[in-house]
Amino acid sequence: LDEKGNLKMVDVGDKPITKRIAVAKAEVLFPEDIYPLVADMKVPKGDFLACAKVAGIMAAKKTWELIPLCHPLPISKVDIKFKFLPEKHTLEIQSEVKTSAQTGVEMEALVAASVAALTVYDMCKALSKSIKITNVRLVKKEGGKSGSVVLE
């Protein structure tokens, strides 16, 4: 906020360019009866993981267009990984975003994980409308003034 309490974009122009990394996760919880179909990739719309990976990568690159006060950043890497957790009937999605810039990529990582999860929902919703997206969170960041922070 400025001195009058108005919204403003933070000026990062005087900050040094440093390497920055952020990792975020999201979980997609499936009803027990459809989890085996999802885990076996038997979804009517096809390869939902490939689609979600591309969606997450694209979303990270467009974060500045979605979140009003985010800076456009020169993203050097986006990676999306998936892990099935059978005991929880869950698909865990992890995004990692890297840049060399004057501000961090936490929002890009969170948006990437979120949009990948939304894409999984969209690709699987024909099987059930009871799919839940949960636990979207930042799990790690590196670089910048606060250095390395591990939250999980």
Helix (H) or strand (E) holding 126: none
Tokens 């979140």 correspond to 67
Q: Catalytic annotation on 2?
A: no
Distances (CA, A) of 88 to 30, 65, 92: 9, 34, 10
Amino acid at 97: V
Catalytic residue among 2, 40, 47, 122: 122
Phi then psi for residue 88, to 5 deg, are -110, 0
Enzyme catalytic residues: 122
